[in-house]
Amino acid sequence: MANEYVFLDLETTGLDENLGSVLELGIVVADINLQPIGSFQQILQFDDPRYEYENCGIDDFVIDMHTKNGLWDICAESYTVRATAELAALDFLADYSEPKIIELSGSTISFDRAWLKKHMPKLENWFHYRNIDVSSYKAMFKKYNLPERPVKAVGAHRAVSDCYDSIHDLRYYLQYLGVLPSE
């Protein structure tokens, strides 16, 4: 069980977990060879700031991003509250491992972990204290002028697709390093 990866991504209303809200939670579990074996998604209830009030404190970049990917519209129709999403995620993860075994994986996963700690502490506490941060590989490859992954696979700024992007990125880096066989 400790050989699986759990990739997690959150879509949020901004960068500050103390001021913002979680809009979407995505989780993809992958095996040791980075082959996906399960996925989970929850869209949380949130009123669309484009229509409800003029000065909502959400950055224009975030409003534009989630307008283009349709997340505002989906959140406005959702009835899922944060506590329900958190419990559903814990139920999903229970099929793959016991608590405190698997490291949390993703791109700049410290961002997501901070949001989990503030908004979904039971879920944050489920993971091992270590993280596998895919963006650290990217930074090291750039620092040493190693070839970066040429193209993002999905890139929709949606939680599950961002998890798949992180899986593809990590697979690329591990293949380059000879840890995983090339496809």
Domain residues of the chain, as ranges? Answer: 5-176
Judge contact between 34 and 174, C-beta under 8 A: yes
Q: Give the global pTM.
A: 0.92
> With pLDDT > 90 as the criterion, what percentage of the chain qualifies?
71
Contacts of 103 (CB under 8 A, 6+ apart): 5, 6, 127, 128, 130, 131, 132
Backbone angles phi, psi at 57, to 5 degrees: 80, 5
Distance of CA 38 to the CA centre of its chain: 14
User: Is the C-alpha dihedral spanning 113, 37, 159, 80 positive or negative?
Assistant: negative
Neighbours of 91 (CB within 10 A): 10
Architecture of the structural domain at 5-176: 2-Layer Sandwich (3.30)
Helix (H) or strand (E) holding 106: strand 104-106
Judge contact between 151 and 144, C-beta under 8 A: no
Per residue in 33-76, pLDDT tens? 999 999 999 999 986 666 554 556 788 888 888 989 999 899 98
Per residue in 100-151, pLDDT tens? 999 999 999 999 999 999 999 999 999 999 999 999 999 999 999 998 876 6
Residues recognised as catalytic: 129
Per residue in 14-25, pLDDT tens? 889 988 899 999
